Every structure is written in C-alpha cells, then in structure tokens.
Structure 1
Amino acid sequence: MLSPLDRLLDYKEAVADLKRAMDRPAYILTGDESYLIRQVRDRLMSALVSPDLQAMNLVTIKGDGKITSLNPDQLLAEIETPPFMGDKKVICLDESGLFSAALPAGPSYEGLETALTQLPSSCQLILTEEKVVSNNRLLKKMRQAGALSAKIGRQDFRDLQSWVSGLCHRQGLRITREAADSLIVRCESSMSDIMNELEIIFLYFAYTGEKDISLAHIDQLCREDLTGRIFDLTDAIAAGRIDQALEMLDVLLARREPPLFIQTMLARQTRDLLVAKECKSSQKIIDSGLTQSLFFACKLAGQAGRFSMEKLEKMLENSFHADLAVKTGRLEGEEALSILVIRACQPA
C-alpha cells in the first residue's frame, strides 16, 4: 500500500515522487506557478495514457472553482466506467472546487466522496485547483488513500537563473547575469511570463543572428521594468531633485499605473533600502533573503548608501500617512503620491 502523504508537497518533492512511480490514485496540484503545474499535469497524462488511446481514455472536466459547477453524477459515472482497450483511464479535473469547501449534502455527493477515496485501480485523477484548503475533509481522506497533493509556487531565484540560462543555451545563445536577473524581476518570477518574453527574444535573435543577450536587449525587447523605474525614482529622491522625481512620477502615471500601486512599490523599496542599510554589503543583503540576485543586491547597497537611516525611516512613516490619507478620503491618490515624493526629496 502507498504511504500516505499528509501535507502539501513542494515542486521538487512532487517531482521526486513522480520519478519513483506514477502509481498514486490521484494527483492534486495547486499554487501560483501555472507553468510548472501544466508541465506536471502534461507529464502525467502522457505517461499514464498512450497518445493513441487518449481520445477514449482521457477525460477532461472543467469547473469554475465552485463545487456547484461540478456534476457529481457525471464524475461518478466516469470513475465507474472502465478504460477502453487500455489499462488506465485518466480523468483531469480543472477548478472543480472539491477542496475549497465542504461537499454539499445529498446522496450524489456522498457517493462521489466514497468513489474519490476508493478509486478503482484502472482509474487515476489529476486535479488542478486554484484554491485548496489544507484542512479540507475530502483532501485529508484522499491523502490517506494515497493521493499526492502539491502546492507549486514561484521558484527560487537561483533556480530561475539556471533555467533561463539553460533555455538560452539550447537556442545557442548566451545571456548575461544582469540580463537574466532583470528579466526574472520584470516578470515577478512567473515562469509563464518569462517564457513568453524569451520567445520574443529568441525570434529577434534568430532574425539578427546575434548570440549574446545583454541588459540592453532586455530593455529593448521586453516589458517595461517597473522595479527599475522605482530605482530611478528613488535615485532622484536621494539627490533631492524634486523636478526630476515628479517627472518620473508623471511618466508612471501616464502609463496608467494606479497611484496606490506606485505608492506601494515606493514603500516596499524604502523597506528594502532600510534592510540594505543595516546589512551594509551586497553579500549580507543576499544572506538576509531580501534578494538572491547579486546584481540587485549591489544596486540596493549602492542606493542605500545615499540615504541616512533617519531619512529612510521618515520616508516609510510618510508612506503610511499617505496611504491613510487616501483610504480615509482626505486626499486623492495622485495628490497623496505627489506630496509623498516632494517630502521625500526634502532634506531630513
């Protein structure tokens, strides 16, 4: 009998179990890294049902994340129907909502719960869910029956660096560390978004015949670097250049970035600079867990050196007051943001 897995595994643990064998009655996948979730799902489908039998033995049922969108009798019938000319039948459930709340009362759902926890050996389930409540009763019972559940989130920065570099290498290209780091940060570590940007880069380099991807190429070809814009804004603040800072702010607002979002980014940058100020060196910044990128650690260390601790603390305090003024209706978002930037540019 399979040993129960009584918790949500991470991506590496889930992959290790797949390498052991793909013999679990159900695979429950959740998390915000959709790229890896799709990879795991597709790997399971390909391994469990041969391509020539997928039309008959691979069933896909889509919901909207609520249990009520699922037809329990239909799913029960699919589970009980044996595979056709094959050993396995696989049912893929997308956004079933089975683990976001308790199952409704009634004989149909009672029968479904029994079936899900006592799946026939000829049937395996793959469930991809946006929301999974860790103490859900059905989830616990399916785990006890041998199901694997995994929460696949954004990956470690160093792993993403290696992944980006490897993808470029397969295309016969080289990418600088600064370029890779900037791409990862622009895409907020989303592998799907990174892949979309890389496809554009690969098309460009296939056309030009160039081989080395630099930061300049990332700036030219990829989505705008909002983090870089915030760095530039805080550079202007550090220099006390009110006109330049307000001009940069106008550019961000002209791009229809919400004032509250810019304010939040600026507050986060201020908090990061406070940590960097305490760390004093790029290596200590990395050791603190603030970032795993040497490129950005160096940028933070350099920028933090231009502020006093008192100045950064005051900026963070002003961010709080600006946020409060907007939420209580005393100021409009753009007005509060402009006042925040002007005050930040003034001497401490």
Structure 2
Amino acid sequence: MKLCYLTTFTYPSTYANRLQVLKMSEAFSRISDFKLVVGGVAGELQSVFRQNSIRYEFPMRSLGVIRGRLRMARAVWALRSVVRESAPETVFYVREPLLAFFLSVLSDRFRHNFFFEAHSFVRYPTFVYRHVFSFARGIIATSEKKADVFWNLFGVLKEKMLVRGNGFDADSFCAMPSKEEARRKLGLPLDKRVVTMIGKPTDERDIGAFVAAAERVPDVLFLSVGGTTQEIERIQSYKGFSHVQFVERVRPEEVVAYYAASDVIAVLLSMKFPEIAMYASPLKAREALAAGVPVVFSEVPALRDMADESLVTFVQPDDAVSLAKGVQLILASHDVSWAKAQKAREIFLKQSWQNRAKDIVEFIQTKRYGL
C-alpha cells in the first residue's frame, strides 16, 4: 500500500506533535510503501533523524521552509501539487484540521482518499471539523473520550473510527539500565531518592505544583527533564523553583536513563487547561508506565482513561500538597508501589509506535479495500 503523510510542520522542533509525526512515519515506513512530506527542514535531514532518535530512516520530502503570513495557504498549494503528482492508488494521511479542510476542498483526489488522525476539535470553527470528518475515509481518534465527542458532536459513526492512543519507543525500554548504572551515567547522587518529571516544564503539565511539592519534600531530589533555557527561565519565579534540578531537552533515546534512575515518575496535567486535561494522550505517560518505575498521575480524565489505581498513584491536579503526599506514600510503600509498576510495564510495553502503525494500516486497508 502506498501511504503518504502530509503535514505543514517544520523541523527541527521541540514540540511533541512534531516528534509524534516522525515516530509514526518511521513505523509506517516499515510496513508500507511510505513517504512523509513536511513544510520544511532547516539543515540536514539526517540531523533531524538523529535528534529524534529515528533508527530506520524513511523517505522525507521538504517543501522548503514555509513561514510568515499566509503560511498555511502556501503550504496547501504546494501539497496540492504533491497530491496531484502522487500515484493514483496513494492513500493520504493527515492530522492538521485546516490542512485536511483546504485540501479536501481543492483536490478531488485527496477528498476521496484520505484518512484523518484527530487530536483536537475546538481550535477551529465547528464547520471545519464537520467537513473533514464527513469526507475522510476513516478517523483515527487518540482516546475513547474523543471518539465519543466525534460521535455526539459531529455525528461520526463509530464504525468509521479507530481509537488508538499514542505509542512510544518500546525497543528502548525493553532492556533498561539498572538504577545505579543510570545514575552513574547521568551524574545523579546514588544515595538520594529521585522524583522525575519528563517533558516541557509548562503550566499545562502542572509544573507549578511540581516545583512547589519539591519544597515540601526536601530530602528527595525533584528532577525536571525537558524544555529549553527560555522555558525554564520563565518559571524561575515559581515557589519551590530552587528546590528542583532542571535538565534541558535530551534526545529521546537518552530519556530511558532518566526513567531508570528514578524512584518515582510524575506525569501531571493541570485542570486550568480543560481540553488537555480531558482529552490529551500524552506521549510521556505511556513511556512512564512502561518504565517499570512507580508512577504518580494527576487525577484528570485524560490520565484516568489510561490507568487505574492498580497501576499508578493518583493525586489532585494543581495541588502541591497532594503531590507531595503522593510521593511520600509511594516511597513509604516500596513493595506495593514497585509491584504496581511492574504490572504497568507488562501491559504498556505492548503499546509501541510499531503496533499502533500496524493497527492503523489494517484499518485503512479494511476501509479502502474491504479486506
């Protein structure tokens, strides 16, 4: 099957959605005749693969770095030409609502042969989503809650949808280093307990509660891994900031060592951002659950959909006191917490990017060919 992923995204980038596109493209390329077309690449293509820990390189075409006013219009026009030049049997795959909307208006070939991966439904006017959902051959929803919204709000039939959450690099997590090996490699103390949050230190990820909780548990090292210098400097006025050790963004393949070095992994979402707290499918949540280390989750619908109390410890969102108590509970009940972690690891190691891609390709073939 010829599969062409179209996006206006540019690279390099630190955004998780850009990484998600690359990881899915890598997985698609191993089971289909695949190519990725992106808005632009600044620098060498191989450097983008290296920075994002892409092991299996795949065909990737850049339209040239498209920025500034009318960026979307220029990208759509260029991608329309890509569609026109593609083989007649090509299936197109997109995740950007505006891109899917305009291409389905301007291109008959695209309109009759595209699949849409839906990550949100409130950023643009309702008619945009209604149009895209009506013409797409199939919809890939990243959570059951989103699928329910698509059915109730837009009338998308359940049989037109496949629900698959985001994946992760399972191969990297199969043979993790020991805690001592990881800490020696990273230069972390061997004699302290470590609580780690991986990802951009943003308000959406409840970084305020994380740094404030660090002040309440001074005998534990709180470690934040991810983000840029500017993103870290932006929160330096937050209460508890000085009690957290910050590490700027590392390559995806290096993240495993930070998970292995931890005693607790915190995956947090703030209820101050309702759409994210309700419908997100965080990449780092699945990694955390596959790491075999005790995990603390914010008690929000998006994370509650992924795991229950048999796998993780829940704390109240936007609440440093609750987070501090949750961390202390995990550390005080070592055997129970680590048993939960091993159970979660056994379940989530199966939820790889490759397995997700396999399910999506089978879904596309069923919808397109009735196989």
Q: Answer whether TM exceeds 0.5 for this pair.
A: no
With normalisation by structure 1, the TM-score equals: 0.31
More helix by share: 1
Larger RCO (CA within 8 A; separation ≥ 6): 1
Structure exhibiting the larger radius of gyration computed from Cα positions: 1
More strand by share: 2
With normalisation by structure 2, the TM-score equals: 0.30
